[in-house]
Amino acid sequence: MSQYLGEPTLPKLIYRGAEAEIYLQDWFGELAIRKNRVPKPYRVSELDSTIRRTRTLHETNLMHEARRAGIPVPVIQHLDVEESSFIMEYVKGPTLKEELYVVAPQMRRRRCRDLGKLIAKLHEGGLVHGDLTISNVLSDNGKLFLIDFGLGNFSEQLEDRGIDLLLLNRAMKSTHVKFHEEIFDAFLSGYSAIVGRKREVEILNKVHEIERRGRYSERT
Amino acid sequence: MVAVYCLGIESTAHTFGASVVSEKGEVLSDVRDTCASKPGTGIHPREAADHHSEVAAKVVSDALSRAEITGGQLDGVAVALGPGLGPCLRVGATVARAMASWLEKPLVPVNHAIGHIEIGTLTTGARDPLVVLVSGGHTAILAFSGGKWRVFGETEDITLGNLYDMFAREIDLPSPAGPQIEKLASKSSNFVSLPYVVKGNDVSYSGLLTASLAKLRSGASLADVCYSMQEVSCSMLTEAVERSLAYTRKKEVLLTGGVAANGTLQKKLAEMVALHDAVPRIVAQPYTGDCGAQIAWAGMLALRAGETAEIADTRVRPRWRLEDVPIPWRTNSA
């Protein structure tokens, strides 16, 4: 990565979401990612700084705990609470969403099965992601990393775990129509391999219940 | 035959309203009579229904005479069949059925929430907006897709209008209380900490209500609590809208419904929308609150699209969800 050193284009804005900006930057000779929660003009300043600070702490805390539970997440290298920003290891990607378009069928099933094991471990570790899509999974030469824990939580509730699966299924459906069932089934086989068949059935029943309630039914 | 005039009747909650609109979208009359609730109480459904029965004949005949047309000149009678309070809805539905059958005109069922959206687009010229519908009955973020309005975010418990009205009820103010809370809030700029709950594109206000009342009981000044509650509630909604806006990349945000009159909410939305190169559209002031015009205009659109109903199929629908309503008059990207 040394070819990037001293490149005048860094730091470079690579993504702007509703609440944060993501920069690619140099960090002591290595490429790194900085996530900045930006101030919002529509919130009074006391409220705004409290929200940004607590969310930044919450997110980095979750990432730390996920790592302890054995889930690959980018290593946090620096946390600046006052600025509501943190710097983390740069994982190149592509996203799993991008990779699934180009790999062979056997490989895409393997990736999704691996993701299933990862999410099962996350859930068993008492965490939920809260915004689980295949865009929030990076594949670094086949090693999967989870990113964007901004909506995550510490939770052992079936409801919250069910929402993770529901969101993932919806994301797969909307971007990989042709083989969405195949990859979601592969995901479930990996999930089941960790939590067991009984827990898998419980959570799938919960997913159906949430769908029936309509709050999270297909809307686009 | 081309429709020229549509009468609209509104009676979903505290207001009985009637209005005549033309096909071009001119509001020729908009008459309303609101049932005032006693301070410290909310709307009593039966008392409101009694009120509506008493004023209905006068409101409807005033709407026709101010528009300078006769019942025979109407091309349709539109009525809000829901969502709303059952006893209130039945008054409007009964009046509309009687008029349609006596005048031999088509009866047009209208969803009250769709009325708020359509009067908003009519009075602002919005074409393909992200809609923020805020009232006593709704707090929802909507975008049009596949022939229906889709919910991108909403309240998980009480609405923004509920929050203000329920708070007001505890401190003996009459409802709807939004304007008075706004007035009290304007006397303070001292922010006291209150819970801020945004979950993805959704908001939750019930904890904020409890905490605001608790602050008041523990000795905080009424102005400070009103100011802080208003700041937190409007900021929460603005953030949820911002998430939906970043996702849908719409270029317009339409604010409509009774709470659209709130100046703090208007200002916050405008500040946020500017960050995303979009423009705010705010429903014209006389049509923020419930009125016949919203029903008449949505009814005109439905009538032209052939969405009429037999009298037997016009039971009131107190819990009618707006995402269930087909919208044949709107195309996907206007």
Judge: A19–B271 Cβ closer than 8 Å, yes or no. no
Inside any domain, residue B329: no
On the question of a common fold for A2-89 and A96-213, the answer reads: no
| Span B165-175, average pLDDT | 87
Residues B36, B34: Cα–Cα separation, whole Å: 6
Q: Are B249 and B132 part of one and the same domain?
A: yes
Inside any domain, residue B330: no
Inside any domain, residue B122: no
Inside any domain, residue B252: yes
CA–CA min distance A219, chain B (Å): 6
Q: Are B16 and B144 part of one and the same domain?
A: no
Which ipTM score applies to this complex?
0.88
DSSP SS3 for A207: helix
pLDDT for the residue A216 = 47
Q: Are B278 and B159 part of one and the same domain?
A: yes
- Nearest residue of B to residue A42, measured between CA atoms: B268
Judge: B235–A131 Cβ closer than 8 Å, yes or no. no
The terminus-to-terminus CA distance of chain A in angstroms comes to 40
Q: Which of the four pLDDT bands, split at 50, 70 and 90, describes residue A212?
A: confident
Q: Any bridge partners for residue A80, and if so which? A: A85
Q: Any bridge partners for residue A199, and if so which? A: none
Residues of B in contact with A157 (CB under 8 A): none
Inside any domain, residue B123: no
Question: Number of Cβ pairs closer than 8 Å across A and B?
Answer: 52
Domain count, chain B: 2
Residues A67-114 pLDDT 10s? 999 999 999 999 999 999 999 999 998 999 999 999 999 999 999 999
Residues B139-149 pLDDT 10s? 999 999 889 99
Q: Which of the four pLDDT bands, split at 50, 70 and 90, describes residue B334?
A: very low
Q: Which of A36-45, A164-173, B16-25, B216-225 has the lowest mean pLDDT?
A: A164-173
| CB atoms near residue A72 (< 10 Å) | 15
Residues A118, A187: Cα–Cα separation, whole Å: 10
Q: Is A217 on the interface with B (CB under 8 A)?
A: no
| CB atoms near residue A8 (< 10 Å) | 4
Residues A135-169 pLDDT 10s? 999 999 999 999 999 889 999 999 999 999 998 99
| Span B315-324, average pLDDT | 92
Inside any domain, residue B334: no
| CB atoms near residue A158 (< 10 Å) | 17
Residues B62-93 pLDDT 10s? 999 999 999 999 999 999 999 999 999 999 99
Q: Are B183 and B43 part of one and the same domain?
A: no
Q: Are B172 and B316 part of one and the same domain?
A: no
Q: Are B282 and B303 part of one and the same domain?
A: no
Q: Are B23 and B51 part of one and the same domain?
A: yes
Q: Is A40 on the interface with B (CB under 8 A)?
A: yes
Q: Which of the four pLDDT bands, split at 50, 70 and 90, describes residue A4?
A: low
pLDDT for the residue B278 = 97
Q: Are B203 and B224 part of one and the same domain?
A: yes
- What's the residue count for chain B? 334
Q: Are B93 and B69 part of one and the same domain?
A: yes
Q: Is B197 on the interface with A (CB under 8 A)?
A: no
Phi/psi for B153 (5° steps) reads -160, 155
Q: In what order do the strands lie in the sheet with B27-34?
A: B27-34, B15-22, B5-10, B76-82, B107-111
pLDDT for the residue A219 = 39
Whether residue B180 is predicted with pLDDT greater than 50 in this model: the reply is: yes
With b meaning 16 or more CB within 10 Å and e meaning fewer, what string describes B193-206? ebebebebbbbbbb
pLDDT for the residue B3 = 54
8 Å CB contact between A68 and A16: no
Whether residue A217 is predicted with pLDDT greater than 50 in this model: the reply is: no
pLDDT for the residue B4 = 87
pLDDT for the residue A8 = 60
Q: Is B38 on the interface with A (CB under 8 A)?
A: no
A36-42 LR contacts (CB < 8 Å, sep 24+)? A36/A83, A36/A84, A36/A85, A37/A84, A37/A85, A40/B235, A40/B238, A40/B239, A40/B242, A40/B272, A41/B271, A41/B272, A41/B275, A42/B234, A42/B235, A42/B238, A42/B239, A42/B267, A42/B268, A42/B269, A42/B271, A42/B272
Whether residue A48 is predicted with pLDDT greater than 60 in this model: the reply is: yes
Scanning the structure block, which residue is given the tokens 């960790």?
A194
Q: Any bridge partners for residue B7, and if so which? A: B20, B77
Q: Which of the four pLDDT bands, split at 50, 70 and 90, describes residue B290?
A: very high
Whether residue A1 is predicted with pLDDT greater than 50 in this model: the reply is: no
Residues of A in contact with B243 (CB under 8 A): 18-19
The terminus-to-terminus CA distance of chain B in angstroms comes to 26
Which structure tokens are listed for A159?
């409801």
Residues B172, B18: Cα–Cα separation, whole Å: 30
Inside any domain, residue B52: yes
8 Å CB contact between B112 and B286: no
Q: Is B238 on the interface with A (CB under 8 A)?
A: yes
| CB atoms near residue B191 (< 10 Å) | 15
Inside any domain, residue B331: no
Tell me which amino acid residue A10 is: L
Q: Hey, of A21, A42, A167, which one would you mutate to test binding to chain B, going by the most B CBs within 10 A of its CB?
A: A42
8 Å CB contact between B199 and B156: yes
Which A residues in the span 148-187 are in contact with B, Cβ-Cβ below 8 Å?
151
| DSSP annotation string for B166-184 | HHHHHTT--SS-HHHHHHH
pLDDT for the residue B43 = 86
Judge: A18–B193 Cβ closer than 8 Å, yes or no. no
| Catalytic annotation, residues of A | 131
Q: Taking CA A58 as the corner, what is the angle to CA A53 and CA A59, rounded to the nearest 5 degrees?
A: 100
Task: Tell whether domain A2-89 is in CATH 3.30.200.20.
Answer: yes
CATH number at residue B18: 3.30.420.40
Q: Is A44 on the interface with B (CB under 8 A)?
A: yes
Q: Is the Cα torsion angle A71, A74, A78, A84 positive or negative in sign?
A: negative
Per cent of chain A over pLDDT 90 is 76
Residues B192-237 pLDDT 10s? 999 999 988 889 999 999 999 999 999 999 999 999 999 999 999 9
**B321 or B117: which carries more pLDDT confidence?**
B117
pLDDT for the residue A42 = 97
| Span B314-328, average pLDDT | 93
DSSP SS3 for B57: helix
- Nearest residue of A to residue B144, measured between CA atoms: A220
Per cent of chain B over pLDDT 70 is 98
Q: Are B160 and B68 part of one and the same domain?
A: no
Task: Specify the fold of A96-213.
Answer: Transferase(Phosphotransferase); domain 1 (1.10.510)
| DSSP annotation string for B228-265 | HHHHHHHHHHHHHHHHHHHHH--SEEEEESGGGG-HHH
Residues B155, B197: Cα–Cα separation, whole Å: 10
Q: Where in the sequence is the domain holding B209, given as residue range(s)? A: 128-286
Residues B36-65 pLDDT 10s? 888 878 889 999 999 999 999 999 999 999
Which value, to the nearest 10 degrees, does the dihedral of the CA atoms of residues A167, A168, A174, A178 take?
-150
Closest C-alpha to A89, from A28, A175, A153:
A28
8 Å CB contact between B228 and B192: yes
With b meaning 16 or more CB within 10 Å and e meaning fewer, what string describes A22-34? bbbbebeeebbbb
For chain A, which residues make up each domain, given as ranges? 2-89, 96-213
